[in-house]
Each structure stands twice: as C-alpha cells, then as structure tokens.
Amino acid sequence: MVIPEFYVSPPPPGVDPVPEGSGTLEDPYHLIAQGITAAADGGFVYLRGGTYVESINLTGVKGTDSVKLVVKPYKLERVTIDSTVAEFRGASFATDWQPVTGHPGEYESTRRFEQVPGARSTVVRKGAFLNAGRYTRLVTYDRVEDLRSPNQLWPNPEDLADNPDQLGPDVSHEQLTDDDQSFAPKRRYRPFVYMGPGIWFDESDDGRRVHIRLSHTSNLIDGWPDYTGKTDPRQLRLALSTAESHVLRLVTCEHMVFQNLTLRFGDEDTVRLRNCTDITFDHVRVWATSRGIRLQTESENPGEANTDIEVKHCLIDGGLPTWFFRSDRKDTYRFRPAPDAAVVENRLGASTGGVLLSSDEGAVRVSVHHCEIVNGHDISVAFGDQMRFHHNWVHNINDDSMIVAGVPGTKDARIYQNVITQCLTALSFAGGGVGQISIFRNLIDIRRPTLGNRPRSQTEQRSLRHGQFYKDGTDEGPFDLFHNTCIVLDPGAVGAAREEIVLTAFGHYKPLGPAGRRRAYNNIFVAVYSRPGEARTIAFLPPSEFPGPTDGNTYHRFGTGPEKKFFVTITGDPDHFDQYPDLADYVQAESPQEQNGQSNDPAFKSLDTPGSPQPGDDLRLKAESTARDSAVPLPDELQEMDIEAGGFWFRPSRDRGCYRHPAERLRVGVDGRRRFPPLT
C-alpha cells in the first residue's frame, strides 16, 4: 500500500500572486490548509521549513483509522505557524505605526481596520513580542484610559477615599458596589493603571486602529524583571492577531496527527477542536494566547463530543509577562465615567490570559502526558469521561494550576505522577458537580510565590503570593488522594508581611458536602511557616462518621505557634470545628480514621530549614524516615490503578509519598527532561 504524500512550503517572498502548486516536492502547495485538505483520505503532509502566517480552519477533514492524516516537518526542518495579521511583523513594520498626538509614548496603527458587517475579524485584540528571547504577551487593555495612565500603582479603594486625586488629575474614579448600580455609600475609588506594554483597539467608527504603548514598568520586585526594552514599536517586530482567529481550528475532523510543529498566537484560542475524534498532538510547541488548547462543543448540539484526543510531549506556554499581576486580570470593576453616565465595566487586562488547557462538556478519553504547561493563569486537568493527566510539569501559574472540578459530567479522571511547582492553588474543586477523581503519585511543591497583587506603593512589598493546596467548591464529588508528596510555605500568604495566611495548610477535609466518599492514603503533607510563633494548623481531618477512610498519612509542621495541629469540621455546622493538639488526640477521639497516621518530620533527603525552596531540594525519604516501609495497604481498585500507572518500571513499595523507592526520580515534561530531584 502506497501512502500518499503532499508537500507545502512557505510562499516565496515577493511573488504576487502566489503560485498554486500541485503538492509535490518540486511544486509544493503554499497553504497548509490546502495540503491537509488534499490528504483528506489519509497520508503525510510534509511542511518545508520556515514560518507560515496562516490561520488553519478545517471542517470535516478525516484520515482513516488505518491511514491517519499526519502533518509534520519535512525531514528535520523547523516549522512555525503563526496566526497574526501581516502588519507589524515584517521588514516594513517601521511604517506601521504613528505617534498619537498629546499622549507621549502612545502610537496607533497607520492602517484602519475597516468594519465588516457581522464580523469581528477586523478587531485586533491580542498581541505578543515576536521572536523575543522569552515568549512574552502584550497586555490586552480594556480601556484606553488605563493604557495612557501615568500611574502603575493599585491602592485599595478606601485608600483613595479621602483624596481621590492623589495619583493625579483624571486618574481616579468612583467605583460602584457589587450588588447594585448606585455609588457606594462609603466612597470608594479606583485608579486607572498602566499594566505594562500592551494594546487597545479603538472600535469607534472614526477609529478602527490599534493603539500601543511600550513604556517601561517600575514594579521593582526581586525576581520579576520589569520591562526595560524598546519603547518605539517602529523598532520592534510584533505579533498581533484579530478576533476569532486561531492557528488551528478543527471541526468534525478525525484521525489526524500533528508532529514537531510550533503553533503561535491567535485570538482567544491558539488551538480549538470541536466535535473531533482521534486527534494527536505530538512534540508540538504552543505559544498560547488567552487559551492554549480548547476542546469545544456547542450546547445546541448535545450529540457533539471530542473523543480520543491525545496531547503528548508538548509545551504550552502562556507567555505571562513578569510585570503582569494576577490582580490585573481579576480585579475588574464597574463605574460611571460621570455622575449621569451609563454604568460601564473596566475589565482591566482580563483578556490577556485565560485557561491554558480547557474543555466544554462532552470530552471522552482525553490524555495529556509528558507536557510542560507554564506561565499562565489557569489549567483544567480533569474533564469529561476517562481523563488522564500524567507526567506533566506545571509551573508559574498565578491562579489554579489544576482545576479538577470545573466541567460537569467529569468522571473516572486520573491525575498522577505530575510535578506542580509555583502556583497559587494546587487543587481547585471550585467548580463542583463531578464524579470520581483519583489524584496520586504527584509531587506538589508550591513554596515559590507567584505574582499576585499590583503594588499599592513603591515601598510596599506585598505583591508576591504564596500558594495554597486546596480550593473548595459547593460539592466536590468523590475523590481519592493517595501517595502524594505535598509541601507548602506560609499557605495563602501575601507579600513580605505574610498577610492573609489561610486557616490551615491542607483543607481538603474542611468542606465535606453531600457527595459521599472521600479517601486519603499514604500522603505526606508538610506545612512550613517562616515566622516564629505564627504557625497555623496543619490540616483538617474528617469526622468519624464521614465516608472514608483516611489512613497512613504523614503530617508535619515546620514552625511553632499557638494553633492546634488539627481541625475537624463539626457535621452539620461547617463554620465551627473541633481542635486537636496532635494526631494521637484525634485518633483517640475520632476512631477509626488515621489509625496508622503519623505526625512527625518525614525526613526528606534535603530540605532547607526553615523550608524555603532551594535548587537542590530532594524530597525523597532518608533511610531512617518513619515514612519508609510504613504505608498502609491500598484498596484493591486503587492498588491496581497504581500498578497500571507505574507501567514497565513499576516496583512494589511501602513508602509513603509520591516516590516508589529511594532512588527514583520523577521524570516529567517533554521527553522526561525535567527531573525531580534534579541531577547534580
């Protein structure tokens, strides 16, 4: 059987019109979509090296189960596919911008993007620096007043109440309450704020131009570089994308493989699949816009589903700027521009970043493994039926790093052997309404802070936020949590002052809900508190009558304080709880839970005291650790799950935590290149 081959190369420069081509190696096509369509019955589409500026939108293209449609580079050539407008990125970009009179540092596009009736495709919404050393997004500004603001601070509304003009004239304005459209009884103000290099699109009839400002930032936060680059866009190559554009959009497509490609930019979603079957992304680098990969279904078509989707050995990078704060996305508000004006919303920079991996309802057998998902806002790791999320590295996520209860109908989801570092929330059950989820053999080390709140003043250092292990919802559903190693530092704290530390380090047994069984076995939970005498409670534990059991877990707290070590929610009264000085007191009172639990130092091989993260940390267990050879037997179904996940390298182990044996290293990410602990 001869498998068809088709060839595509980037359009030859300076040739207009672009030749059609016949799809052979000697006479290739010049549009990727054309090559894929030609291979609709299965075959290879070879892309010659270079950059394609193209948005690929395909409907009903299908390979076969036996002969898949494979899109890959020709030999070892490097292929990049960008969804951008042609302006601002090429040799003539110096003529694409002109200064805006009266607003220093602001430029507008020389082109007017004419309105097309009924279409959003001429609204330029998203942008990024093109070919920068680190993928970095441009802020999407909701209002031009923020783009033009001289202010970079974000004081509390009350801080401006007595002197709303303290940041300068025409900067501050009165904020409305959340529950009505009247001015707040207590005067509250918000400032317009410049959030860093970004764009705003003027949609007015006499505008229709892109506005940009690249002024330097001055946040002065150690470890988070300010923008100090060029301020004139006529000296930079930029990637700007129109609304509703994607690098790759597939609708009702089947049996397709995308290999060794770089997909960059677009509008809301860089990659969007709708009602597709058997689609694989293998060694694909996604420079994400607001969302990296989204699985979509239309609610008016209840039969739609995305089935057998595999994402393996891929990089999904959200390009989060080091000067863009979580509050720039989350602290949106409503106000009246004038006392008699209509109420408007300021969404600040909310459109800049979203969920890097997500799905609507109707996903079946989605597998995401050996990927690196970094520098973004949220990630959904459990959706649909039989989701598998494993051997991934999740890093620098300024909100929820693993949303495990965001999509109704989720069941039989397994999240295992991942490494989670530097995020605001490790496990988010805030969505509620899901079926069984199993979370096991993960290393969750969220001691490094994320960029949380924009500074209130130049001297205030409260921007960095330390992560929390768990976010609850209305009904988490049944889940099992076993053989994980989890460590947090000052959980939930804000800034150098360590404000707003959460009530307890590990709160997965605080909201009990009506969902039934919740089990926890052989986990290691370590809470580090950096300030003497201020240590909080280690964990909530379940009341004796709550479906379980929980057993074989190790709990430890570095740091001392007046708080008891454990809380137990009083059934029927979730706002109150019993307190226990130590695990032995709890076991005596709450039998049969945690009969084999431990409350002592697990004795990691290497951990800095008092627990601040270091490059060489080794969270495997020392030979003398009491967590060695002391795990309780798992129920049969969880034991089988653990063996299946271990694969060829499975070794039986009775050690607690995520490591099966003392010499094991977790190898995650693309080709397992990220090792924990690292090789020395």
Mean pLDDT of 48-59: 96
* β pairing state of 479-482 and 388-390: unpaired
pLDDT number for residue 157: 72
Handedness of CA 465, 539, 535, 155 (dihedral sign): positive
Alpha-carbon distance of 411 to 383, in angstroms, equals 8
Alpha-carbon distance of 412 to 415, in angstroms, equals 10
Assess if residue 582 is contained within a domain.
Answer: no
What's the angle, vertex CA 152, arms to CA 148 and CA 156, rounded to 5?
A: 120
Per DSSP, the three-state class of 570 is strand
Answer yes or no: are the C-beta atoms of 200 and 211 closer than 8 Å: yes
Assess if residue 631 is contained within a domain.
Answer: no
* Residue 241: C-alpha distances to residues 83, 197, 258, 594 (Å): 6, 16, 22, 55
Tens of pLDDT along 653-666?
899 999 998 899 99
Q: What is the secondary structure of 481-538 as a DSSP string?
A: EES-EEEEESTT-BTTTTBT--SEEE-TTS---SS--EEEES-EEEEE--STT---EE
Residue 335: how many other CB atoms lie within 10 Å: 17
Alpha-carbon distance of 138 to 146, in angstroms, equals 14
pLDDT number for residue 608: 80
pLDDT number for residue 62: 96
pLDDT number for residue 185: 46
pLDDT number for residue 1: 73
Per DSSP, the three-state class of 472 is coil
Assess if residue 10 is contained within a domain.
Answer: no
Assess if residue 218 is contained within a domain.
Answer: yes
Per DSSP, the three-state class of 610 is coil
Q: How many domains does the chain have?
A: 1
* Residue 317: C-alpha distances to residues 307, 321, 376, 415 (Å): 24, 11, 7, 20
Q: Measuring CA to CA, which residue among 357, 271, 364, 260 is closest to residue 309?
A: 364
Assess if residue 172 is contained within a domain.
Answer: yes
Q: Measuring CA to CA, which residue among 221, 225, 55 is closest to residue 134?
A: 225
pLDDT number for residue 580: 95
Q: Calculate the dihedral angle through the C-alpha atoms of 260, 262, 267, 272, rounding to the nearest 10 degrees.
A: 0
Q: Return the structure tokens found at 84.
A: 């951008």
> Which region among 14-18, 304-308, 566-570, 670-674 has the lowest average model confidence (pLDDT)?
14-18
Assess if residue 464 is contained within a domain.
Answer: no
Burial group, residue 452, by CB count within 10 angstroms (0-12, 13-18, 19+): buried
Tens of pLDDT along 629-675?
999 999 999 999 999 988 766 777 899 999 998 899 999 999 999 99
104 band by pLDDT with thresholds 50, 70 and 90: very high
Assess if residue 326 is contained within a domain.
Answer: no
Helices (H), 293-353: 326-330
Tens of pLDDT along 435-482?
889 999 999 999 999 999 999 887 777 899 999 999 887 677 789 999
pLDDT number for residue 150: 93
Mean pLDDT of 55-66: 96
Assess if residue 166 is contained within a domain.
Answer: yes
E strand intervals along 197-305: 198-201, 210-213, 238-242, 248-251, 254-259, 262-265, 269-274, 277-282, 285-287, 291-296
Phi/psi of residue 299, each to 5°?
Answer: -65, -30
pTM (predicted TM-score): 0.95
Structural domain of 199: 100-235+333-351
Handedness of CA 580, 586, 588, 591 (dihedral sign): positive
430 band by pLDDT with thresholds 50, 70 and 90: confident
Question: What single DSSP character describes residue 339?
Answer: T
Mean pLDDT of 495-517: 82
Question: Would the pLDDT of 613 be above 80?
Answer: yes
